[in-house]
Structure formats: C-alpha cells, structure tokens
C-alpha cells in the first residue's frame, strides 16, 4: 500500500496522465476537498462531470473530461513542502483571464476571480489553463 503525501497533486497528475493517454475519464480516491475542487471545475466548465462511486470508506471520484476543451494545463502551486498564500490584491489573472487559479479560503474553495471580487486571500492550490 502506498501513501500519498500530496493528494491534490496526485489528483492533478492522474488527470494529466489520462488526458495524455486520450481517455475521456479517469478515477481518483475520494476526499471532500477533491470533490469540492472538481465541482468547482465543473461549475467553471473545465470538466463535463464528476461522480462519487462506491461506498465508504472505498469511495472513488470519476472525472469526465469536456470533449470540446483541449487538454488542461494543470499546475500545482502550493505544495506540502512549500505553502503559497496570497492576498486578493496580489492575485494576477492566469493566462490573461483565459485560465483560472483555485484558492482555498476561509469561505471555502473559490476561483481567483471570485476571491478578487470578495477581496479575500488564501492558499493558492493550483492553476488551470
């Protein structure tokens, strides 16, 4: 049994690898943070669907990629060895506004646009372009 020290990084890597292999979907172990992150990606229309499969404690997330979107450029920013926190005024648009950054804040997960609008900073989890 392997132990994953960075579950978000593992999720992003699984998604990158599945898209490189031209798969329409991939699976990853379930956690509430991962489910919230994928729900946010679905709301922003970067992926087409996310489902929770199985019964506790062996639940999995099935991620279905949007066919009309090109392969996502997923990049982990804040890592377990180096946490990156940012203020709302220091958030810069990703890819001149065509991409998004995902932050974890005191009000939950949100995109960089939502954080700037609400004037909230937080830990910068990843960027998607």
Share of the chain above pLDDT 90, in %: 86
**100 — pLDDT class (breaks 50, 70, 90):** very high
**CATH number for 93:** 3.30.1490.10
The total domain count for the chain is: 2
Residue 110 pLDDT class (50, 70, 90 cuts): very high
Kindly state the average pLDDT of the residues 113-124. Answer: 96
Tell me the mean pLDDT in the region 70-94. 93
pTM of the predicted structure, to 2 decimals = 0.93
Range of the domain at 45: 7-65
* pLDDT one-digit tens code per residue, 12-49: 999 999 999 999 999 999 999 999 999 999 999 999 99
Which token pair is 36? 């919230």
In a domain, 2, yes or no: no
Facing residues of 82 across strands?
79
CATH number of the structural domain spanning residue 56: 3.30.1370.30
From CA 118, how far away is CA 30, in angstroms rounded? 29
Same domain (yes/no): 13, 58: yes
- 7-20 and 32-43 helices cross at what angle (nearest 10)? 50
Average pLDDT score over residue span 72-100:
93
**Do 28 and 78 reside in the same domain of the chain?**
no
């Amino acid at each position: 049994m392997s132990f994953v020290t960075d579950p978000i990084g593992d999720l992003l890597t699984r998604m990158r690898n599945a898209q490189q292999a031209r798969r329409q979907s991939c699976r990853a172990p379930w956690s509430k943070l991962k489910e919230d992150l994928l729900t946010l990606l679905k709301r922003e229309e970067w992926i087409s669907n996310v489902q929770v499969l199985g019964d506790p404690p062996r639940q999995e997330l099935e991620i279905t990629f949007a066919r009309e979107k090109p392969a996502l450029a997923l990049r982990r920013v804040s890592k377990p060895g180096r946490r990156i926190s940012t203020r709302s005024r220091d958030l810069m648009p990703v890819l001149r506004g065509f991409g998004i950054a995902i932050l974890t804040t005191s009000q939950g997960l949100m995109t960089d646009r939502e954080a700037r609008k609400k004037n909230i900073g937080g830990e910068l989890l990843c960027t998607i372009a």
